Structure formats: structure tokens, C-alpha cells
A and B are shown apart, each in its own frame.
Chain A
Amino acid sequence: MATKKYPVIWLQGAGCTGCSVSVLNAVSPRIQNLLLDELVPGHQLNLIFHATVMAGQGEPVVEVLKDAEKNRKGGYILVVEGAIPTAENGAYGSIGEKGGKHLTIEQSLADLGKSAMLTIALGTCAAYGGIPAAKPNPTLCKGVKTIFNEKGIETPVVNLPGCPLHPEWFTGTISVILFSGADALELDQLARPKLFYGQLIHENCPRRADFDKGKFAEKLGDPGCLYQLGCKGHYTYADCPLRQWNNGVSWCVKAGSPCLGCVEPEFPDGTSPIYEKVTFEDLK
């Protein structure tokens, strides 16, 4: 049986490359499997554009994008990392040049988004704006879905927030798409797969027993629940405590740090000051 190939275009907007680096940290499958192997039997990704990884540069790689828009309509997965700067007609962000003219991130997203079979907004910046969109949002950054709505683009968007996202939230989502098709992805109201974002950090936290007993850490480095030190785990939906990070070595709360709420749409403005407590009353 012939291998079904899924071309992937990975567009980087206003971000830090941290979500790409996080996906490089994937363990099973590893990044080399994502790039070179059948990820599930008979199905393989084909990363045709990723500025941090690809061999080529300059106009020939811009041509790869233009070719996809024209000749691969409905045939590729668009991954977007970073927010979309919209101030001054998108002038704060471009991804390259074509015929002496800059291609803005905003325009590239619209052109590539229209023809994609599916768009994955990778990380909190691409999903909701994230830090570049934090007050006063100097470059008027927005998330992918907002741009699609404004421009009437109907391509489905899956949000995989996180600052950065966990690599398995990406490889797991791709697995569902390859095994069962994109329609099989069950999303919450914020377009996040319930598979990864279905439960509160607080529900699965190993320090939950401390919370229930009222045993709270008074300063960083102390044992006990980190609620008084600004932990946002009681209103943050992600499976970090179960999945853990970096090949299961640790995660924020295990390392003695409050959860930053980095997967939530209001990150960072609505989840800071980082070390200030947000009570259950505040959330009502």
C-alpha cells in the first residue's frame, strides 16, 4: 500500500520559536520519526516548510509557499506558531520576500489558511495572542482563529495552547488526525482537544492533598500547596501533572513553582502577577 503523505507548512509569527523547540523535545515518536518515518502505518508527514529547520533560504523557499497555495489546495496541514501582528496592515511581521515585496505574516496566514485542509494554532501566542498581545499589545497581535473569523476563512482551527505547548499535545493531535481523521478530534469551547486539556491541573496535582488539608507553602522551595504563592492550577486546564515534561523528568509544580496558567486564553494578563493568589471567590 502506498504511503499517504501529509504536507505540513509551519508558519512562524510573533513568537520565540519555543514551541518548535518543544516539539524537538518529543520522545515517542521522536522528532526524527516525525520528519522521516511513517508516523502511523501508511501515513507520513512531509514538512515542506519550516524556517528553523529547512535547508533552503531566500526566494526559493518562499516559492514553496506560493506553490502550495496554488497547487495543493485543501491538501496540506498549516501549523502556525506565534501571534499575528496586525498593526499598520501587518507591517510588524513578515516571513520573507517575493519579487522585492515583503510577505506579511497576516497576509501569508490568510493566503495559506484559505487553502489548508486544517490549521493547528500551536502555542498560546498562535491560539490566543499570548505575550505579544499582552497589554498594551504594541503590535496589535491576534490569534489565528480571530484572524480567520475576521477574514471569513472557514478552514477548521485546532488550538494547542501552552507557553510552550507540550510536544505530545502536538504529536497526539497529529496521531488522531492520521489514525481517525480530523473530525475525530473532540474539542472544547476554546477549540482545544479534550484529550489533553480536559481536566484542571488542580484535579490531578500531587500537592492536592496538601490543599485539602490546608497545608500551604509560605515561600518558594517550601513543601505544601502553592495556592498562596499564586498557583493558577485551579483554573488551568491541562494534563501536565499526569504527563509531566521533558520525557517525564518534571513539571512546574513538581519543581516547586506555581502553575503559570500558560495554556489559558487570558495568559499572561489574566494570570499575573504570577506570585499573587487568585482565590476561588475571585473566579466567580
Chain B
Amino acid sequence: MSTKIKIDPITRIEGHMAIEAVIDDGVVKEARSAGTLFRGFEIILQGRDPRDANRLTQRICGVCPTSHAMASALCIDNAFGLTDKISDNAKLIRCLMLGANFLQSHILHFYHLAALDYVDAVGAVGNLAPFVPRYEGDYRVSGEANAELVNHYIRALDIRRKCQEVLSIFGGKMPHNVGIVPGGVTEHPTEDKITNFLWRLNEIRDFVDNTYIPDVIAVAKAYSDYFDIGKGCKRLVAYGGFDLPTGKLFKSGVVSPDLQPEPFAKENITEDLKHSWYVDSDSGKNPAQGETKPQPKKKQGYSFIKSPRYKGEVCELGPLARMVSNYVQADAKVKELVDSLLVQAGAGVDALFSVLGRHAARALEAKFVVDAMVDWLQALKPDEPIIVENQIPDKSEGVGLTEAPRGALGHWMTIKDKKIDRYQVITPTAWNASPKDDKDQPGAVEQALIGTKVKDEDNPFELVRIVRAFDPCLACSVHLLDAKGSELGIFRAV
């Protein structure tokens, strides 16, 4: 007898998401990730001043707005012909802001979104909302070690706040900074700001080294079976990001399931729409030609997320993709970080493709970024330019590719009569949480769920741990309805 488990809402993620899994003999046979990204941003942007996209697209997501600021600024720079004119100061300041956003997002994700699946908050603070209701059963850390993790949950609230404060030195405010603009940045890197930034950063860096990474290792030791759970599609994509005067911190690349790197080319991205609530005739297009025409009642649809594919293949994006991409392209620092963690965990590279591998990659990435930020600060030149003057072209096109905390992010724009004619955004969660594509291949999260053993169908920890390890960012609570009945024997909503 099959059972269908439906979890709606999936909480402790950004935005709104539902998961449906068909369980046969205790194993997930089919999985559906339903997402809900539709406020119609791409439609709202049409006809507006191209420069405004830089401010408006940040409002796609309040957790990672800085990555949309970066992607849209790169896109506008490209369309305005400014890409080669951006000053070193502007590149560094933009990267410092994006780096601070990575740290905020990664720390928030581990402690405040994911940790309650592993840490027994009730055991430490009692039966208190918002820590109840919850799934009961598989909490494996107890006593002092558990109390310490709960204390770190609280401490991490302060540290993630301080990540926002350091960002606002150059960004003015967070969420939704005002510092990253077309042509550069608005705030000068005076010596006092550099020192202020450095010392705020030092506290965050200490937390990453001495609390965050050790906590991920502690959780990994208690839940070591999760190195074997949630493998996924194993094909990785990174667009590359953090455009520094010396090149990109994260290399762009595609990594095959047997860990072979290939160069990445944006022309190979297409978006399928067969199972998404959009008009079918636009399926299979590159985002530079993409359209966003919703068709809410489409029969085969089950999600507002499109299905981005690379050369027609399902891919995973995010910290795991970036760290493995840099690793197989022989980045010395990343290799050292990853190898040292694998030794501590007693696991091989293949174990990275798992629930715990994704958490570990995210923590190591936080260290990789925070260490690099110290160098970027020292490269700033207080008296040199921060912005280049610019004019809106009558007609142009632009692309902005970068890396967001959750994975590669792309903005595509066409300008006509000095106004936005078309704007397309592909978020990393669109790749990861995508529905099936035109060839009926399940998306990356769906593939990670399929084959999973569920021990207790009333408390399906495995499913939510897999989903949250991807750090989904649904970027809004908009959710399309469809009338569906269950044709299966038992329906469990948990």
C-alpha cells in the first residue's frame, strides 16, 4: 500500500513551499516540490527606468537582497557598456557587501532554519512556542552538548544581526541596501569605515571558526547516517561570482557526476515549462529570450517555478556546487578546507553529495568568504573613484551572472526606448526546487528525496532535513491553488 505524505507549509525556509512524497514500503518512490515564486516581478519591471531594476529586484528576497543588487547591477553595467569601467574600489565594496550577506544568510540558515531538525530546543528551554509543535522522536544530542547548541542558536541571532550591521557601513541599510548601484557604489571607503568594517568582521570570523564550523561537525558526528541521505542529481553548476579586481573568487564551471569539470556557457541554459504554470509555447527558451506568461489552471502544472536545465540536464546549485567546482578546478584554499573537513568527518569526497555535505559545504564556504574579505578590505584605496558616470542607452541588452548564498543567480534585461522591455530572473532555488521538465526528469530536490527511507511517517524527519539542506528560498509566500484529490490509499498531512 502506498502512502502520500504532504507537508504544506514547509516552514523555516524563505517563502512558501509544499512537498509531496509517495511512500511505498517505507521508501520515497515519487516526490513533488511545489513552489510559488509568483508576484510577477518580471511583469512589474516592464516599462520602468532600467536603473530602478537594481532597487526593485532586491525586493524579490529579503534574506538575499544583496545578491539581486549585485546581479542587477552587473546586468545594467553590461547593458550600459560600463562593465570594463567599474573601478577597483567599486568591485571590492560590492564584494564586501555580498560577502556580508553570505555570512548572514549561511549563519541564519544553519542555526535558525535548519538546526531545530537536529537540536532539541524543547529539552533546553521547555514547551514554548515557537519551538512547539514540532516533529517528535529523532533528536540525538542531549544534556550539556544540546544545551550548548541551543545557546549557540541564541548567540547566532546576534552574529547574523552583526553581519547586517557590517554590510550597512557601505550599504546604508539592510535588508535592501542602497549602496550597490549601476556604475559602482555610493559610499566612499574612508579609513575609518575600513577599520570599523574590519573589527566588526573579526567578531563574525571568530564565530565562524570557533562556533559555526565546530557545531556543524558536532551535528555531523551525531547524525553521520545523513552523509548517505539525500544524494541528489550530482551534476553541479556555478556561474562564478565575486568579481574582484583580480578575478572571480568562485570559479564558474559545470561538474559532472564523476567529478569532471567542464567550462560553463550561459547559452546552454534553457527553461522548461511543461509542469509549471506558464504558457507551454515559451518552453525550452534561453532566458535572454524568455517570457513570463502565467497560466494558472494548466493541467500538467504543479508549481510556479520554471525548470531551468543546463544542456537539458538537471543540476544542483549552491555552496556544494561552488565548493566542489573550485575543488575540482584545484583551488588550493578550497581543497585544503574540504580535505581537512573530510578527514575530521572520516568521509570521502562522495559523501559531500548528501544532507550533511550540503551543510558542511555552506560552513566551509562561510570561512572561505570571511577570510577573503579581510584581504579585500586591505585592497581598498580611500581616495580613488567609486562610481563611473552613466547614461541610459536607447536600446541595449544586458546579462548579470553572480552567485547568491543559495547558488548561481542570473538577471537578463532588454532595453527599448530607454525603458525595460524585458526582464528575466533565474534564481538558484528555481534550479534546485524545480518541478519535472519537458522530459519528465524530476528536479534536484525531488531527486534527492526519491529513494529515501522514511522511518516514521508521522514524523518524517528525513524529508524535511533533505529539503532544508538545500536552503530553499521561495522568495515569497505566493502559492497557486489547484484542486487535487488523493487517489492513493492513505493520505497523511504532517
Q: Footprint of B on A, CB under 8 Å?
A: 12-22, 24-25, 27, 30-32, 35-36, 46-64, 82, 85, 88, 91-97, 99-100, 102, 104-105, 131-132, 134-136, 138-139, 141, 163-164, 219-221, 245-247, 249-252, 254-257, 260, 268, 272-276
Contact A139 B40 (CB under 8 A): yes
Residue of B nearest to A64 (CB): B133
Which B residues are in CB contact (< 8 Å) with A85?
A: 39, 478
The answer to the question of B178 belonging to the interface, with a C-beta cut-off of 8 Å to chain A, is yes
* 9 residue pairs, one from A and one from B, having the closest CB atoms: A18-B62, A255-B172, A138-B40, A256-B186, A257-B178, A55-B134, A245-B173, A273-B49, A59-B493
Select which of B44, B52, B476 is within 8 A of A273 by beta carbon. B52
Contact A32 B7 (CB under 8 A): no
Residue of A nearest to B166 (CB): A249
Contact B476 A14 (CB under 8 A): yes
Question: Knowing that A49-B129, A55-B121 are A-B contacts, what are 16 other residue pairs whose CB atoms are under 8 Å apart, sorted by A's residue number?
Answer: A15-B477, A16-B60, A18-B61, A18-B175, A20-B62, A21-B62, A22-B174, A27-B161, A53-B12, A54-B11, A58-B493, A58-B494, A100-B6, A100-B486, A102-B8, A131-B39
Residue of B nearest to A244 (CB): B173
Most buried by B among A25, A55, A251: A55
A229 to chain B, nearest CB (A): 10
Which B residues are in CB contact (< 8 Å) with A272?
A: 48-49, 52
A84 to chain B, nearest CB (A): 11
Which B residues are in CB contact (< 8 Å) with A46?
A: 129
Contact B9 A17 (CB under 8 A): no
Which B residues are in CB contact (< 8 Å) with A94?
A: 16, 477, 479, 481
Select which of B52, B116, B168 is within 8 A of A55 by beta carbon. B116
Contact B175 A245 (CB under 8 A): no
Most buried by B among A49, A58, A64, A246: A58
Residue of A nearest to B61 (CB): A16
Contact B169 A250 (CB under 8 A): yes
Contact B9 A255 (CB under 8 A): no
The answer to the question of B1 belonging to the interface, with a C-beta cut-off of 8 Å to chain A, is no
Which A residues are in CB contact (< 8 Å) with B478?
A: 14, 85, 92-93, 139
User: Which residues in chain B, 38-56, are within 8 Å of chain A measured between CB atoms?
Assistant: 38-41, 43-44, 47-49, 51-52, 55-56
11 A-B contacts (beta carbon < 8 Å)? A18-B176, A25-B164, A52-B12, A55-B132, A56-B135, A135-B47, A138-B294, A221-B184, A221-B187, A245-B168, A249-B169
Which B residues are in CB contact (< 8 Å) with A48?
A: 129-130
Contact A246 B60 (CB under 8 A): no
Which B residues are in CB contact (< 8 Å) with A255?
A: 168, 170-173, 178-179, 186-187
Which A residues are in CB contact (< 8 Å) with B178?
A: 252, 255-257, 260
B367 to chain A, nearest CB (A): 23
Which A residues are in CB contact (< 8 Å) with B464?
A: 57
The answer to the question of B14 belonging to the interface, with a C-beta cut-off of 8 Å to chain A, is yes
Contact B173 A138 (CB under 8 A): no
Contact B44 A56 (CB under 8 A): no
Contact A52 B14 (CB under 8 A): yes
The answer to the question of B59 belonging to the interface, with a C-beta cut-off of 8 Å to chain A, is yes
User: Which residues in chain B, 175-193, are within 8 Å of chain A measured between CB atoms?
Assistant: 175-176, 178-179, 181, 183-188
Contact B12 A220 (CB under 8 A): no
Query: A99–B181 Cα gap in the complex (Å)?
Result: 47
Query: A62–B493 Cα gap in the complex (Å)?
Result: 11
The answer to the question of B480 belonging to the interface, with a C-beta cut-off of 8 Å to chain A, is yes
Contact A21 B175 (CB under 8 A): yes
Which B residues are in CB contact (< 8 Å) with A95?
A: 9, 16, 477, 479
A160 to chain B, nearest CB (A): 15
Select which of B8, B15, B40, B172 is within 8 A of A254 by beta carbon. B172
A21 to chain B, nearest CB (A): 5
The answer to the question of B160 belonging to the interface, with a C-beta cut-off of 8 Å to chain A, is yes
A139 to chain B, nearest CB (A): 6
A172 to chain B, nearest CB (A): 17
The 0/1 profile, CB within 8 Å of A marked 1, for residues 400-435 of chain B is: 000000000000000000000000000000000000
Which A residues are in CB contact (< 8 Å) with B173?
A: 245-246, 250-252, 255
Most buried by A among B39, B56, B173, B494: B39
Most buried by A among B43, B128, B130, B296: B130
Contact A251 B172 (CB under 8 A): yes
Which A residues are in CB contact (< 8 Å) with B480?
A: 91-92
Contact B476 A54 (CB under 8 A): no
Contact A32 B157 (CB under 8 A): yes
Contact B51 A245 (CB under 8 A): no
Query: A191–B156 Cα gap in the complex (Å)?
Result: 35
Query: A48–B157 Cα gap in the complex (Å)?
Result: 19
Contact B130 A35 (CB under 8 A): yes
Most buried by A among B296, B477, B481: B477
With A25-B161, A246-B168, A275-B51 already in contact, the answer to whether A12 and B477 are too (CB < 8 A) is yes
Residue of B nearest to A102 (CB): B481
Residue of B nearest to A20 (CB): B62
